[in-house]
Amino acid sequence: MSLTATKPSLAEMVEALGQIVGKEFVFVDNETLENYSHDETEDLHFLPDVVIKPANTEQVSQVMRYCNEHLIPVTARGAGTGLSGAALPVRKGVLMSMERFNKILNIDERNHQATVEPGVVTEFLQEAVKEKGLFYPVDPASKGSCFIGGNVSQSSGGPRAVKYGTTRDYILNLEVVLPSGDVIWTGANVLKYSTGYNLTQLMVGSEGTLGIITKIVVKLRTYPKNNLVLLVPFASAEQACEAVSAIFMAGLVPSCLEFMERDAIDWAIDYTGSSVVVPAHIQAHLLIELDGNEMDLLYQDAERLYGVLEQYEVGDILLGESAQQKEELWLLRRKAPYAVRHNSVYKEEDTVVPRAHLPQLLKGVKDIGNRYGFKSVCYGHAGDGNLHVNIIKAGLSEEDWHSQLPKAITEIFELCVSLGGTISGEHGIGFVQKPYIGIAVSDLQLEIMRGIKRVFDPNNILNPDKIF
Amino acid sequence: MSLTATKPSLAEMVEALGQIVGKEFVFVDNETLENYSHDETEDLHFLPDVVIKPANTEQVSQVMRYCNEHLIPVTARGAGTGLSGAALPVRKGVLMSMERFNKILNIDERNHQATVEPGVVTEFLQEAVKEKGLFYPVDPASKGSCFIGGNVSQSSGGPRAVKYGTTRDYILNLEVVLPSGDVIWTGANVLKYSTGYNLTQLMVGSEGTLGIITKIVVKLRTYPKNNLVLLVPFASAEQACEAVSAIFMAGLVPSCLEFMERDAIDWAIDYTGSSVVVPAHIQAHLLIELDGNEMDLLYQDAERLYGVLEQYEVGDILLGESAQQKEELWLLRRKAPYAVRHNSVYKEEDTVVPRAHLPQLLKGVKDIGNRYGFKSVCYGHAGDGNLHVNIIKAGLSEEDWHSQLPKAITEIFELCVSLGGTISGEHGIGFVQKPYIGIAVSDLQLEIMRGIKRVFDPNNILNPDKIF
């Protein structure tokens, strides 16, 4: 760390940054600072000193050079839809919004690749490539508003990961501005890469702590022409979890395989006004999507799926065939998080285990809840073993909520790790899971991660106080 | 680097290592040293001081602790099938053969995972999981003899990568002994991981320079029940390359899509005594495999494939339906490398570009050959844009071979990079591509890689002089 650096005054900082990105893209007014002080993680607020909106790689490079010289913390921000607080400027300094990096630079149909800026909304990319018959499968719940750059930083997943993989699996190459202001490409635009350490994969999921991503080359697939959606009610939540494993054992690979426990679907039905009726004895649902090109084959797969489900106590299966039917069924899963938010103060954990261990995880979460006196609402990407556990404040006193919750979360995470899993599957560690990382990651691993951080960012100016 | 360390005498080293791994697993005889002095990379030989064969993680840990303390280079070795010289003990020291790490520790059918030791032969793993209806798809050409640990270290691919991905895509978690002797697990046994920097992916492809891999958790799929193989002759090699892109554009995803130029198939026919007859005007072949569960659908896909191929000047397509027919067609591609070795001194380059740029790459390679006066034989994984370029010595003088070849290779690699590609898709950089890495990887990237190396291995004892 440079010992001679002195932090400039706010006025000096504004002046210098304005010269780089243009005065009109430097903000210090309260409203803007407040708007960029939070993401979708609980009710956390951290005001930055200044918000800037650079337009291109060269500007980002100059900003980083300036901030590195003056040891000013820089936190890059996508659309602010994160759930781990990774984009919160907890050490103040510069909040760098990537919202002007909003262009799809190239869709290379022949190579099934696209080059995009990090501020492109994920769904916008999906729609643009779909027009050319191409498919960017990764669809986080926030796909309508989140940025692809945020997806890369957090290694985001979503329901389709079970068949198609997470963001990580679609990133071929990244343009990155280092804290020094230097610019690198991390790899090459190729499907196979064995040319030194894989800096591309290291960057994915590094939560903005190693560099600022300014261009992204993604891999595309061809768009599957058809799909079917099934909503399967189970008399037992544990049987629903067991069925997940059995479906894969039967050789089926659904494009989505989502779990919702009873409360999740009840709350979602209330919240959306859905006409779906759930009989009293039903404890959980699986929402299953099959996709492919040939409808005949999809119906064959659906038949095989019914065969697998026969061994469990299931209620009437709802089959979505028309676009409207499918949308109605999906709505319940998609709106479940909003229904939870609407109902109570809550805290969401992004647990992940090998998928056959989901029943133990679910049972363990409930046991822990019973001991600590909280209710939880669980849903998630069961095909990946990725269960979102929403701990509901409801009846808990303010004191219990703050004193007991960390202990309960610790127990939940310890359970995940004991089952071969870890504490975040797709939300990242960011700020809010940081106190718990030691449960999943050993001191030695953390030491290595800190060492890697120092290689990229010796002055620790980039998104400090995140992950570890 | 510790300045007080003194290198022990060979006798001291043998004594100390014998106490750790057992005397009978420490070798200094000439025959053993010679056997472990080379891999399948050209005719390079580097004798180690000593060969050891540890049996478990604890022994590896103790060896690393000893060698780190005494600054003794350690090179881990799988089956010695590498093509980049990554396992050559170029700085002498300890050659650590992982051949006793040959156990499949667990096949977890319900989670579609297996835990294996690094010395398991790749095909042995494939057969073992196939018995349970499971599929480990990655099949490097050397699958019958190579070790899975070597595959992880080199990020190996093979023909099926085009549909199923490379080794990288199947590695969930690794047990790694660090140069210090400390042992870590890099991640968790889960399909999604967003819990700090992805050390698992960093380790894959790091060519034994960061740690010794002692356990590997792989992801499995269900075994596809059927396949079809087609050998398609093209009047023009460039049209064959163009067809590759067109096949994907049509929405087909073959499980293999291999390219062979005329000489490759002629040499392979001679070498294998195959009965396949190639008409005079044919310049190249594509070997295409379609896989899946339903034969009906495979024949439908084959029909669509014929439709795509109609727009090119193709000869009679050979369709392999029986196991014997398929084997006969595959044999030509599999034996092409052996046919080249059998015919001439050669040097193989593992070029990779975005697949639509294959025609430019092929044409450029031939142009460069014409200028430098060498013939080349090209084949490879066209679906991934991964072309193995075999530069044939044949008529070249010994002097030209040594003086001109590096210039020609430099031009070939520069061409790859100019097409958006890189210098190794699946063989790694190792020792022999090291002089060329600067063509594909910038000084800044290399500086970062060296920094990462120092984090893991501050004394540079682990496989020194490799990659960079």
Give a yes or no: residue B460 inside a domain. no
B108 and A356 within 8 Å at the Cβ level: the answer is yes
Does one domain contain both B305 and B365? no
- Contact (CB<8Å) A354/B190: yes
**Strand, helix or coil for residue A68:** helix
Say how many C-beta atoms besides its own lie within 10 A of residue A125's C-beta: 23
Contacts of B314 (CB under 8 A, 6+ apart): B232, B233, B234, B235
* Amino acid of residue A119: G
Say if residues A262 and A278 touch (Cβ distance below 8 Å).
yes
Which among A342, A374, A395 is the end of a domain?
A342
Q: What is the pLDDT of residue A219?
A: 98
Q: Which residues of A touch B357 (CB under 8 A)?
A: 111
Contact B350/A446, CB-based, under 8 Å?
no
Percent of chain B whose predicted confidence (pLDDT) is above 90: 94
- Whether B188 and A420 lie within 8 Å, measured CB to CB: yes
Q: Kindly state whether residue A196 falls inside one of the protein's structural domains.
A: yes
**Which candidate from B426, B437, B456 shows the least CB-CB separation from A448?**
B456
pLDDT tens, position by position, A323-337? 999 999 999 999 999
User: How many domains are contained in chain B?
Assistant: 4
Query: B285 in a domain, yes or no?
Result: yes
Task: Choose from A106, A135, A163, A190 for mutation: most chain B CBs within 10 A.
Answer: A190
pLDDT at residue B2 in the model = 47
Q: CB-CB: which of A191, A202, A425 is closest to B194? A: A425
Residue located via tokens 């039967």: A250
Quick check: is A59 in a domain?
yes
> Which of A200-211 are b and which e, b meaning 16 or more Cβ less than 10 Å from the residue's Cβ?
bbbbbbbbbbbb
User: What's the pLDDT score for residue B4?
Assistant: 52
The mean per-residue pLDDT over the stretch A2-14 comes to: 80
Do A193 and B182 count as a contact with CB atoms less than 8 A apart?
Answer: no
Can you tell me the mean pLDDT for A428-445? Answer: 97
Residues of A in contact with B251 (CB under 8 A): 133, 222, 293
Same domain, residue pair A125 and A111: yes
Q: Which residues contact B417 (CB under 8 A, 6 or more apart)?
A: A188, B423, B439, B440
Cβ contact (<8 Å) for A248 and B449? no
Nearest to A176 by CA among A287, A30, A61, A73: A61
Do A117 and A176 have their domain in common? yes
Specify whether B363 is located in the same domain as B330.
no
Residue B1: its pLDDT value, please?
45
The residue among B428, B443, B461 that closes a domain is B428
pLDDT tens for residues A279-308?
Answer: 999 999 999 999 998 899 899 999 999 999
- With CA atoms as reference, the chain A residue closest to B210 would be A197
Same domain, B297 and B234: yes
- Contacts with A198 from chain B: Cβ below 8 Å: 155, 168, 201-202, 204-205
Same domain membership, residue A388 and residue A325? no
Given a cut of 90, whether residue A253 has pLDDT beyond it is yes
CB contact under 8 A, B205 and A194: yes
Task: Quote the CA–CA distance of B92 and A6 in Å, as a whole number.
Answer: 49
Same structural domain, A115 and A214: yes
CATH of residue A393's domain is 3.30.70.2740
How would residue A396 be classed by pLDDT, with cut points 50, 70 and 90? confident
Nearest-by-Cβ selection for B251 from A201, A222, A297: A222
Residue A141, classed as helix, strand or coil, is coil
B261 with B335, same domain: the answer is yes
Kindly report the nearest CA distance between residue B392 and chain A, in angstroms.
24
Q: Which pLDDT does position A344 carry in this prediction?
A: 87
Verify whether the Cβ–Cβ distance B111 to A442 is below 8 Å.
no
Q: Do A196 and B384 touch (CB under 8 A)?
A: no
Q: Are A207 and B440 in contact (CB under 8 A)?
A: no
Provide the pLDDT for residue A4. 52
Q: Which residues of B touch A202 (CB under 8 A)?
A: 197-198, 201-202
Q: Is the CB of B194 less than 8 angstroms away from the CB of A440? A: no
Q: Tell me, yes or no, whether B306 lies in a domain.
A: yes
Q: pLDDT tens for residues A156-189?
A: 999 999 999 999 999 999 999 999 999 999 999 9
CB-based contact B441 A195, cutoff 8 Å: yes
CB contact under 8 A, B429 and A202: no
User: Which residues of chain B have a pLDDT value below 70?
Assistant: 1-5
Distance separating alpha carbons of residues A437 and B148, to the nearest angstrom: 30
- Which positions ≥6 away from B432 have C-beta within 8 Å? B41, B42, B44, B84, B85
Q: If you write DSSP's letter for every residue of A285-352 in order, what string do you get? A: EEEEEEEES-HHHHHHHHHHHHHHHTTS-B-PPEEE-SHHHHHHHHHHHHHHHHHHHHHS-EEEEEEE
Do B58 and B111 reside in the same domain of the chain? no
Alpha-carbon distances, residue B251 vs A292, B347, B452 (angstroms): 11, 36, 40
What pLDDT does residue A5 have? 61
Q: For residue A5, tell me if it sits in a domain.
A: no
**H or E segment and range at residue A76:** strand A74-77
Contact A222 B248 (CB under 8 A): yes
Put simply, the answer to whether B195 touches A442 (Cβ < 8 Å) is no
Question: Does B35 share its domain with B84?
Answer: yes
Angle made by CA atoms B260, B264, B269, in degrees to the nearest 5: 110
Give chain B positions within 8 Å (CB) of A187.
422
Q: Which residue of A has its CA nearest to B201?
A: A201
B467 phi and psi angles, rounded to 5 deg: 65, -60
Min Cα separation B309/chain A (Å): 16
- Domain for residue A373, yes or no? yes
Closest to A437 (Cβ–Cβ): which among B196, B199, B445?
B196
Nearest CA in chain B to A155: B194
pLDDT mean over A49-62: 98
Q: What is the CATH number of the domain that holds B336?
A: 3.30.70.2190
Interface contact B222-A253, CB threshold 8 A? yes
CATH assignment of the domain containing A22:
3.30.43.10
Are B242 and B320 found together in one domain?
yes
Nearest chain A residue to B252 by CA distance is A222
Q: What is the pLDDT of residue A395?
A: 80
- Which residue in chain A has the smallest CA separation from B300? A294
Give the minimum alpha-carbon distance from B343 to chain A in angstroms, rounded to a whole number: 28
Of the residues A110, A129, A151, A192, the best mutation for testing chain B's interface (the one with the most B CB atoms within 10 Å of its CB) is A192
A342, A366, A396 - which closes a domain: A342
Whether residue A192 is contained in a domain is answered as yes
Domain range for residue B238? Answer: 224-342
Residue of B167, B192, B215 to mutate, interface with A, max A Cβ within 10 Å:
B192
- What's the pLDDT score for residue B394? 84
Judgement on whether residues B236 and B323 belong to the same structural domain of the protein: yes
Locate the DSSP E strands across A110-189: 113-116, 134-135, 171-177, 183-185
* A chain contacts of residue B166, beta-carbon cutoff 8 Å: 192
Beta-carbon separation of A422 and B451 below 8 A: no
Please give the interface size between A and B, counted as residue pairs whose CB atoms are below 8 Å apart.
263
pLDDT of residue A2: 47
A249 with A342: CB under 8 angstroms?
no
pLDDT, one tens digit per residue, over B420-462 is 999 999 999 999 999 999 999 999 999 999 999 999 999 999 9
Interface test with B, best of A197, A298, A305 (most B CBs within 10 A): A197
Q: How far is A274 from chain B (nearest CA, A)?
A: 31
Contacts of residue B189 in chain A, CB cutoff 8 Å?
A: 354, 420-421
> Searching chain A, which residue's CA lies closest to the CA of residue B419?
A189
